Structure 1
């Protein structure tokens, strides 16, 4: 009985210590947005931190404590970024590495279009929510794309029926799914659109392509085939 109580008390103490570490780290994160004039005119840190989301520059997203902890205190640790590993010099892989941390911190949101052949040789294509897929892999592993093998050059990036949109051209089957970041909206006039759940922006794929949108990048990868990367800079809600 006493051993059980000691273990329980030790567990509570460990959780309290972890919570304290997370609180301190989040306060340091908020301080990165604070300017010198803020400290001159505002009474204390609590007030300053409450105002940070309201005073952040347009286009800057300030993470909530929950979002911050998901990024920096995940079970796999703070350094679980593929961009910190040595990866093959593939055009698509390098483009995704450049966007990994920006997606994790909710600065941008990236959709990846891939047109390739699956392991059986059938033509497939689809749209992938990069942040959603990476996060699922980091927390659920096999339930998402095998990103560790993809970035290591051992596997190709192949869309599937769990992604935002997927089509198997051999049988004509089409699948679509909302992700944590996007709602899929087929439009008879605008074509396939994705509504960003965070800021309400509507991303028209047809418009990105036909107007040579600066945030639309066409990439031909020897390994992954024909791909397009769509970047959306998340707007801060006023």
Structure 2
């Protein structure tokens, strides 16, 4: 539960049907003994003279309640758009995309895919792809319906065309590209500032990260760097 969803007293605003219910929850038997008027007791809670913490206006209550409902609707909408749900895939690449789709859509993970394969012109290309960003900006239904491959683009974290020798890199909403580093290319997660090191010869890619080599017959090479998001403390 997010802290911004809590009312004074530590309970979620969602637990109260109305603002009056919330105010009443902060009124004690001692308050009623002295005041003998529930409306007056509620008003004192609203003004911050009674209750567990500072005052909590009707506008704050309604705004928080609306925000909670918006989150619920967004979550329900997200569930409808997990395109790989219920599908079965033989190739390891598609299974890997499927296994990570929901977590990357909801922000629990920020996976980076290193992909090496051929483009539509038969040119060998490779690159590092921010999976969460591509899920948010691209229709994945053709990919999960086997009508299209998941390939690096010039707008991804990095892109290299082995025939034209074209090299490009670009930051994403989830990662900052650190190209000029003694340790090779690095990616800084924007949410928790952790570094993802994609060097294949190191033991670990970094804190809260893991590396998986994918067995696939449909692509030349696929390696996944899964980063498990943690908020800054």
TM-score by length of structure 2 reads 0.66
C-alpha contact 1:87 1:153 (8 A) present in aligned 2: no
Question: Which residue does the alignment assign to 1:166?
Answer: 159
**What CA distance in whole angstroms lies between the structure 2 residues aligned with 1:203 and 1:66?**
35
Q: Which residue of 2 aligns with 1:45?
A: 12
Give 1:113's aligned residue.
114
Q: Is the 8 A contact 1:108 1:231 kept in 2?
A: yes
How far has the Cα of 1:72 moved from its partner? 2.5
Taking the aligned partners of 1:164 and 1:100, their CA distance within structure 2 comes to 18
Cα pair 2:104 2:110 within 8 Å, conserved: yes
Which structure has more relative contact order (CA 8 Å, sep 6+)? It is 1
- Superposed CA deviations along residues 170-214 of structure 1, whole A, max 9, x for unmatched, are 1111011111101111133110011111111111111x6421557
Q: 2:94 aligns to what?
A: 93
By percentage of residues, which structure has more helix?
A: 1
CA contact (8 A) 2:112 2:131 kept: yes
Q: Does 2:172 align with 1:179?
A: yes
| 2:213 paired residue number | 218
The farther-off stretch of 162-171 and 187-196 is 187-196
Aligned 8 A contact 1:215 1:230 in 2? yes
Distance 1:227 1:128 in 2: 11
Query: Which structure is larger by alpha-carbon Rg, 1 or 2?
Result: 2
- Matching of residues 136-175 of structure 1 within 5 Å: 136-137=137-138, 141=139, 147-175=140-168
Q: Which runs of 5+ in 2 are unaligned?
A: 16-66
CA RMSD of aligned residues (A): 3.2
Deviations 1:141-168 (A, max 9, x none): 4xxxxx2222122222221101110000
Question: Which residue of 2 is the match for residue 16 of structure 1?
Answer: none
**What is the Cα deviation at residue 87 of structure 1?**
4.1
Question: What TM-score do you get using the length of structure 1 for normalisation?
Answer: 0.65
Residue in 2 aligned with 1:81?
A: 82
Gaps in structure 1 of 5+ consecutive residues: 1-28, 35-40, 49-63, 142-146
Is the contact made by 1:110 and 1:131 (CA closer than 8 Å) also made in structure 2? yes
How far the C-alpha of 1:231 sits from its partner, in A, is 0.5
Answering whether residue 186 of structure 2 is matched by residue 193 of structure 1, we say yes
Q: Distance in 2 between matches of 1:47 and 1:71?
A: 16
Q: What is the CA-CA distance between 1:66 and the residue it aligns to?
A: 11
Distance 2:108 2:173 in 1: 15
SS in 2 for 1:93: helix
* SS of corresponding position for 1:109: coil
